[in-house]
Amino acid sequence: MSLSSKDLLDALRSVTDPVTALPVLPVLKESDLTVTGDAVTIRAEPGYLTDAAGRKALAAQIEAAAKGAGAQQVTLQLNDTIRAHAVQSGLKPIASVKNIIAVASGKGGVGKSTTSANLAIALAQSGARVGILDADIYGPSQPLIMGVSGKPVSNDGKTMEPLRAHGITVNSIGFLIEADSPAIWRGPMVTQALEQLLRQTNWPDLDYLIVDMPPGTGDIALTLAQKVPVVGAIIVTTPQDIALLDARKGLRMFEKMNIPILGVVENMAMHICSNCGHAEAIFGEDGGKRMASELNVPWLGALPLAKSIREQTDSGSPTVASDPDSEAARLYHELAYRVAMGVAALPKDMAGRFPSVVVENLKK
């Protein structure tokens, strides 16, 4: 029986990621296959990065699916390229940044900035080029969390060079003002400051830029959602009802801006006793998971309330960097993995795919 390209495509599109159980190759095309008798060459581009073990497991699944469809010899070419994806209509992407991801919450105090920092470092440890922008002008915390200080230098008097920490590039208003100096600015000044931080920073070629958004859904957060060209948003909440009420508002705000929701993260889901290891749901249980299900958005996972995470954050060395073999670091890596897969599944940016069309008035 001859090898059918259609059967082969169907089999390959059913392959799921070994960690998340999400489809890996839903956009695989017939042109990605070369069939010669019972031998096939498969060119696959998952669109996200994984470690050596994950890559090996994924390759084994793809090969097994192809052989199940009748292939006797399988040659696999996995492309690790991370592509740029579409942003809100009317906004211009940042030339050196492929994908901007907003991390937001309906209210403060739910661990959004800690989640942002660990997510960024986990993505960088997967091999991606990552930056983080602290968009909380009134309460910048990334300089402390990332353990980096100093002021960005400007080599041309117009743009500034971001600082680096834990393998990622960082910029924040906290680098430009004194640590105990309040930013006594009204809304328009705040949004102008953020746009300058975003567009006048010499970001290196980045696969992902994590934007640590200010808390709430007021005028400032709404304006930033309208002006920052993001590919998707992550909502961070705790399980308790009072946090979930505001998290829903934050989620709806992004939906009104036609910004895809990459998923919900439930932070402080369980308190882990540092003495005995006992887990207790202090703030309730599965609230974020239920919200994600009710609103039909992805569930990205739950993170613990642990003394070690707080201590590592306060010391300027987030968990993923300082304790990479811990259970908490594993959870942050799984979160990053799901986020990268979610971005890869979004519509790609087609703005740079087409050449400029010039119409000239040719005189005879």
| Residue 240 counted as domain residue | yes
**Of 78, 110, 130, the domain-final residue:** 78
Backbone angles phi, psi at 313, to 5 degrees: -65, -45
Domain with residue 61: its CATH number is 3.30.300.130
Could you list the residues known to form a binding site for ATP, using ranges: 106-113
pLDDT at 53: 79
3-state secondary structure of 235: strand
Which residue's structure tokens are 């942003």? 87
In the predicted structure, residue 187 carries a pLDDT above the cut 70: no
Q: Are 206 and 169 in contact (CB under 8 A)?
A: yes
Binding positions are 106-113
Specify whether 71 is located in the same domain as 122.
no
Per-residue confidence (pLDDT) for residue 201, from 0 to 100:
95
- Tell me, yes or no, whether 263 lies in a domain: yes
How many residues belong to the chain?
A: 364
- Mean pLDDT value of segment 216-229: 80
Same domain, 46 and 120: no
Look at residue 311 in the predicted model and tell me its pLDDT.
Answer: 93
Predicted confidence (pLDDT) at residue 270 exceeds the cutoff of 90: no
Segment (H or E) for 301: strand 299-302
Q: Which two tokens stand for residue 173?
A: 């208003």
In this structure, is residue 356 part of a structural domain? Answer: no
Q: Which residue type occupies 317?
A: S
Strand partners for 348: 85
Do 61 and 113 lie in one domain? The reply is no
Instruction: Mark whether 23 and 147 lie in a shared domain.
Output: no
Q: Are residues 134 and 242 in the same domain?
A: yes
43: helix, strand or coil: strand
- For the ranges 222-231, 281-290, 331-340, which has the lowest average pLDDT? 281-290
Max Cα distance, the chain (Å): 89
Specify whether 26 is located in the same domain as 109: no
Our measurement of the distance from residue 44's CA atom to the centroid of its chain's CA atoms, rounded to an integer in Å, reads 22
Mean pLDDT (the chain) is: 87
Hey, is 243 helix, strand or coil?
Answer: helix
Tell me which range, 20-24, 187-191, 309-313, is most confidently predicted by mean pLDDT.
Answer: 309-313
pLDDT at position 64 over 70? yes
Residues 246 and 307 reside in one and the same domain: yes
121 and 25 within one domain:
no
Whether residues 194 and 305 fall in one domain = yes
Sign of CA dihedral 251, 255, 259, 260: positive
Average pLDDT over residues 142-169: 93
Domain assignment present for residue 67? The answer is yes
| Distance in angstroms (rounded) separating the CA atoms of residues 356 and 130 | 30
How far from each other are the two terminal CA atoms of the chain, in whole angstroms?
Answer: 62
Determine the average pLDDT of the residues in 148-175: 92
How many helices and strands (H and E) does the chain possess? 11, 14
Contact 54, 47 (CB under 8 A): no
Examine the pLDDT at 321 and tell me if it is beyond 50.
yes
Q: What percent of the chain has pLDDT over 70?
A: 93
257: in domain = yes
Same domain, 105 and 165: yes
Residue 135, in any domain of the structure: yes
Number of domains in the chain: 2
Q: What range defines the domain where residue 135 resides?
A: 97-344
Ranges 23-32, 103-112, 117-126, 245-254: which has the least confidence:
23-32
Residue 205 burial class via C-beta count within 10 angstroms: exposed 0-12, middle 13-18, buried 19 and up: exposed
Mean predicted confidence (pLDDT) in 221-242: 88
Q: Which residue, 78, 109, 135, sits at the end of a domain?
A: 78
Average pLDDT over residues 308-327: 94
pLDDT at 23 > cutoff 70: yes
In angstroms, the CA 218 to CA 203 distance is 28
Contact indicator for 23, 58 with CB cutoff of 8 Å: no
pLDDT tier at 364 (50, 70, 90 boundaries)?
Answer: very low
Residues of the chain above pLDDT 90, percent? 43
Would you state the pLDDT for residue 360? 56
Contact between 262 and 234 (Cβ < 8 Å): yes
Would you say residue 31 has pLDDT above 60?
A: yes
Neighbours of 280 (CB within 10 A): 11
Which is more confidently placed, 357 or 155?
155
In the structure encoding, which two tokens stand for residue 98, read together? 């492929």
Residue 15's SS3 state is coil
Residue 122: pLDDT band with limits 50, 70, 90 = very high
Q: Which two tokens stand for residue 241?
A: 């009802």
Nearest to 259 by CA among 94, 101, 96, 116: 101
Is residue 361 scored above 60 in pLDDT?
A: no
Asked if residue 223 belongs to a domain, the reply is yes
Residue 219 lies in a domain: yes
Q: What is the mean pLDDT of residues 71-97?
A: 90
Mean pLDDT for 169-182 is: 81
| Same-domain check for residues 30 and 146 | no
DSSP letter at 350 equals -
pLDDT bucket at 171, cuts 50 / 70 / 90: very high
3-state secondary structure of 69: coil
Distance CA 62, CA 105 (A): 38
Q: Are residues 318 and 254 in the same domain?
A: yes
Q: Are 115 and 192 in contact (CB under 8 A)?
A: no
Instruction: Assign residue 315 the CATH number of its domain.
Output: 3.40.50.300
Q: 140-154, 177-191, 342-356: lowest mean pLDDT where?
A: 177-191
Q: Concatenate the DSSP letters of all residues of 306-320 into one string.
A: EHHHHHHHHTT--HH
